[in-house]
Chain A
Amino acid sequence: MADRPIIEVKDLTAGYGDTVILEDVNFEVRTGEVFAILGGSGCGKSTLLKHLIGLRRPVQGSVLIDGTDIITADGAERLALLKKIGVSYQSGALFGSMDLLENVTLALEELTDLPADAIEAIAQMKLKAVGLQDAAYKMPSELSGGMRKRAAIARALALDPEILFLDEPSAGLDPVTAVQLDRLILELSESLEITSVLVTHELPSIFAVADRVIMLDKEARAVIAAGTPQELRDHSDIPAVRQFFNRQAPDDAKG
């Protein structure tokens, strides 16, 4: 069961208009796995994520989530698929006219039959899990960037998704909060077999949580490496990968 791929990406070519950002991307994510997408900024990590969740149509190729093609799915099938995923966007994308609690309860109210007090209790728990329970009645504009990011994660967790997509969840967080977040992701993966796909730059976080990673490259416009973080750090002979894992600038590597 744990080895069944929950996400299958086949020959995906992604781009905006005529600009191709990524070409012929192939990978699989297994159920319960924590999967990280790495790469320098602007190499197309967010773009890839948007294709995985069906927000953008690929130029070519397909994305299967739990066996269903998220691109061609529509109607009830698509809704069922969307219920399985939770997304936290790079900029948070919290609804600015609602306080945090409402941001989290929105999906619960609209899409489940839970009674109102259950919804509130669940939402407060999700906020507690990201350390924001005391800010439940604050508006997003009253929060710092890191708090917004955490609130977005709480919102992504609202419906207990099977797959969690997190775009740079720990960027801008203090180390303590970042570690808490790592723990949250790990526990969700271990106890509920929630699959997490995260875009991240944070080396400590990658080693702490990621089972497998892929690394994208801007020039190659493709996946240049895949494997466990330890493998890539210790055994990769691709300069870009070594530089990333050893925090070197391109010039240091030559010298």
Chain B
Amino acid sequence: MDDEGKASFDFRLEGDAAARLVLGGRLDRNAVAAIWPEATSKLRRSRVQQAVVQAGDVTYCDGAGIALLVELKRIQAARGGHIQVEGLADRFGQLMTLFETDHLTKPPKGPGLANRFVHDVGRQAIEAARSCVELTSFVGEIVAKLLKTALRPHSLRWRDTFVIAEKAGANAVAITALLGFLIGLILAFQSAVAMRKFGAEVFVADLVVISLFRELGPLITAFILASRSGSAFAAELGTMKVNEEVDALVTMGLDPVSFLVLPRTVAAICAIPLLTVFNEFFGLVGCALVLRWMDIPLATFFERIKEAATLTDFFGGLVKTFVFGALIAGIGCLRGLQTRTGPSAVGDSATRAVVSGIVAIVVADGVFAVVYYFLGI
């Protein structure tokens, strides 16, 4: 079909007010592509009242050919002129009635550019405010339901919870350990370079262990969980929302929060402290490696750790991770359940879950810093 684009086209003016277009041959896509600009512009420019399209020699005419004829008709109609298609074979004429349209649907008008800016700013502001309110009430709902579940533990969907915990926790061990190792290595190396000047390389161990236990371990693990699992929760629940699966749960009399959100929250809360321990352990391994490289014996390293870090540092860090885990799961699920319709909706939800998850983690970390300061931890 593609090589047979042989069609003929001729345009003749007959006096001031009439024109004759002669079409012939095979009016397929390729032929029409060649003829279209000339045919439409000539007819448009001629401004004739009366046009005749002679289509007697057309041997084949597919959708594109019909489109050309229809476009010619529309051009004439637009200026109140007349057009007549002569000699078109019946079978193509049939197609014409099937496809012919006298108008083209216009794209809907949106607000103008300046208006759109104002519009967007307003909408964003309202949405931000609404999102805070929703997040707060959603967290409240989760906490209330968690407490209720704590009284009746069998009401939780444990099987789902374990599967999710495996995906969010066990499957994340390698990446968490690797990042911990690298962070420990880098942190130790960077500080060693500086501290060496003062002959204080031994204290690198102090620095690394304290920062890992108190801040970096929990934070990095939380970031990993937010980007791996927070987004996954949002995407899973978002897909369910789009497919009306959430509606199906509701009409079955099942509560989406208990059914979908609680297992994820519990799984995240259980997984994140364990992941954090892995992260911190491998961070220390990285640190030990750097110290070995600087000829500090392993025994000294252990000595310094015992000296510098207390159990309070260690557990103080772990306590934070419970809150981080709850925030990540809660926000991921909330974003998932807030998914609107539309093709990019699920992707948007996943993005929003990661972004607001990370913001929430850092804010919570700041709150912990203040609280710990006053508690003297």
Contact = CB atoms under 8 A, between A and B. Distances in A.
Interface string A213-250: 00000000000000000000000000000000000000
B305 to A, nearest CB: 53
Interface string B1-14: 11000000000000
A124 B63 contact: no
A80 B2 contact: yes
Interface residues of A, number: 40
Contacts of B66: 125
B100 interface: yes
Interface stretch (A22-30, A111-119, A195-203): A111-119
A96 B67 contact: no
B338 interface: no
Interface centre among A96, A114, A120 (most CB of B within 10 A): A114
Contacts of A114: 29, 32-33, 36, 64
Contacts of A191: 91-92, 94-95
Contact of A84 (B1, B30, B95): B1
B2 A190 contact: no
Interface in B17-72: 28-30, 32-34, 36-37, 40, 62-64, 66-68, 70-71
B94 A162 contact: no
A69 interface: no
Contact of A113 (B33, B71, B92, B344): B33
A18 to B, nearest CB: 26
B15 interface: no
Contact of B63 (A97, A117, A126, A140): A126
Contacts of A137: 105, 107-108
Contacts of B341: 141-142
A202 to B, nearest CB: 21
B99 interface: yes
Interface of B: 1-2, 28-30, 32-34, 36-37, 40, 62-64, 66-68, 70-71, 74, 91-92, 94-95, 98-101, 104-105, 107-108, 341-344
Given A95-B343, A118-B32, A121-B71, 8 more contacts: A83-B1, A114-B32, A114-B33, A115-B33, A118-B33, A141-B343, A160-B64, A162-B1
